[in-house]
Amino acid sequence: MATNGRLVHLEDYEQFIGPEATERICRKKEPLNGFHLTHVNSTYYGGGVATLLSSLTLLMNSVGIKAGWRVMQGSPDFFGVTKKMHNALQGGEINLSERKKRLYEEVVYENVVRNHLDHDMVIVHDPQPLGMVRHYHKKGPWVWRCHIDLSRPSPELWQYMSEHVEHYDAVIFSIAEYRQKLRTPQLFFMPAIDPFSIKNREFSDEETDERLAHYDIPTDLPLVVQISRFDRWKDPKGVIEAFRMARKEVDATLVLLGNVATDDPEGAEVYESLLECREERIIILSREDTALVNALQRRAAVVLQKSIREGFGLTVAEAMWKGTPVIGGNVGGIRYQIEDGVNGFLVSSVEEAANRIVQLVKDESLRRQMGAKARETVRDKFLLSRLLEQYLDLMNAFETVYRLRSGHGGR
């Protein structure tokens, strides 16, 4: 997250959000100068949470918040268990044995021993480090930020997880549909993108051509693209099936680009299962190359995010920012980004996805019209400056409570 050889500052966002919003955020940061917080999650790369934190922590530091980022360590067995938890929180099944709970709690405690968290605020992301809160004498509020689709969690698992959640001072979900029965106060922050990152900054045609050529991706036909972790919830096989149906009416090339996050042991298995689908016009790549993501989203005629479950889906906003229409699964946070038929399409089946691919590939005027509205949607709602402001409001709220309780007039 750098521009012209320096870190991005809030003022750089003024070109997108205007001076009034910039000044308002500046006022909110003033009482928090030197406020010390840290984020805790389970991986430095792969997936939306790591993408978000890499930029958010730097932007927080640029406004005077001392924001750190800790990543928990764990064995393959541990991440195997937490992946099963992740799936069960999104509606999958789990055999929550005592062995699984013991393994989870032992690795969590090992990370507690390694990490001395005595900050003004600790923000813990997703299920993997959730249980750490129970082992600290808190010096300030702890917040659990869950990025998962919690509309239909496994009752057995949620009962176990909620015992940990109730030790937090606040919980943040992406959308109100994920609200749970908790004593802990619940807030709702949708994720956001960094327009200055390599993944989202402006790319020239020459830069785009170079990245695509580097991976031998042909551009003689329209590109249909899906970019996401290799995860069954993203329905990559459904994307391939929809593309094959669409290709009966339009010529195009499909590119499935993904990565395998360190905290997702199923990713490699999903990737391997797709390789038999490769052919000349179906390209499946596992790469960690943010410039390639930018080039593909920018050059694509259509971007898909055909998820079956999706907490939010940052790749949707990323593609929309580049003026590319997105066909998204009609689930979770995707529905808060795409207004069906206005700035993209929402679909609930392979057949619907295929029909929308055909429609957009055939109609360049519609692509331009939807793409322009898509970019405007992201500018209005999904830039990182908005998320920073929400976190500033949260910090200020807790600071007010702290001052009242302690009788302090200031920090």
| pLDDT given for residue 163 in this prediction | 95
How far apart are the C-alpha atoms of 59 and 74, rounded to whole Å? Answer: 28
pLDDT tens across 373-388, in order? 999 999 999 999 999 9
| pLDDT given for residue 261 in this prediction | 67
pLDDT tens across 267-279, in order? 888 989 999 999 9
Look up tokens 């593609």; give the residue: 319
Contacts of 209 (CB under 8 A, 6+ apart): 219
- Classify each residue of 137-159 as buried b or exposed e, where b means 16 or more C-beta atoms within 10 Å of its C-beta: eeebbbbbbbbbbbbebbeebbe
Q: Which of 227, 352, 359, 248 is nearest to 299 (CA)?
A: 227
**Residue 23, CB-side half-sphere exposure with 13 Å CA sphere:** 3
Is the pLDDT score of 252 beyond 80? Answer: yes
| pLDDT given for residue 364 in this prediction | 97
pLDDT tens across 68-113, in order? 999 999 999 999 999 999 999 998 899 999 999 999 999 999 999 9
- Kind of pairing between the strands at 36-41 and 121-125: parallel
What is the CATH class of 205-381? alpha beta
Q: Per CATH, the architecture of 2-192+383-406 is what?
A: 3-Layer(aba) Sandwich (3.40)
Is the pLDDT score of 294 beyond 60? Answer: yes
Is the pLDDT score of 4 beyond 60? Answer: no
| pLDDT given for residue 407 in this prediction | 47
| pLDDT given for residue 404 in this prediction | 42
Look up tokens 């919003």; give the residue: 21
259 pLDDT tier (thresholds 50, 70, 90): confident
| pLDDT given for residue 410 in this prediction | 42
Is the pLDDT score of 326 beyond 50? Answer: yes
More confident residue, 298 or 402: 298
* Mean pLDDT over each residue of the chain, to the nearest integer: 93
Q: Do domains 2-192+383-406 and 205-381 have the same CATH topology?
A: yes
- Classify each residue of 371-395 as buried b or exposed e, where b means 16 or more C-beta atoms within 10 Å of its C-beta: bebbbebbeeebbbbbbbbebbebb
| DSSP string for residues in 137-202 | --SS-EEEE--S--SS--HHHHHHHHHHHTTSSEEEESSGGG--S-SS-EEE----B-TTSTTTS-
Q: Which of 275, 286, 315 is nearest to 47 (CA)?
A: 315
| pLDDT given for residue 263 in this prediction | 66
Q: How far is C-alpha 324 from the chain's CA centre?
A: 18
pLDDT tens across 198-246, in order? 999 999 999 999 999 999 999 999 999 999 989 899 999 999 999 999 9
Is the pLDDT score of 2 beyond 70? Answer: no
Output the CA torsion 205→206→211→215 (10° steps): 100
Q: Which of 81, 70, 13 is nearest to 379 (CA)?
A: 13
In terms of Cβ atoms closer than 10 Å to its own Cβ (0-12, 13-18, 19+), residue 308 is: middle
Per-domain residue ranges of the chain: 2-192+383-406, 205-381
pLDDT tens across 23-44, in order? 999 999 999 989 999 999 998 8
pLDDT tens across 166-191, in order? 999 999 999 999 999 999 999 999 99
265 pLDDT tier (thresholds 50, 70, 90): confident
How far apart are the C-alpha atoms of 153 and 146, rounded to whole Å? Answer: 12
How far apart are the C-alpha atoms of 130 and 108, rounded to whole Å? Answer: 8
To 10 degrees, what angle do helices 205-214 and 290-299 make? 110
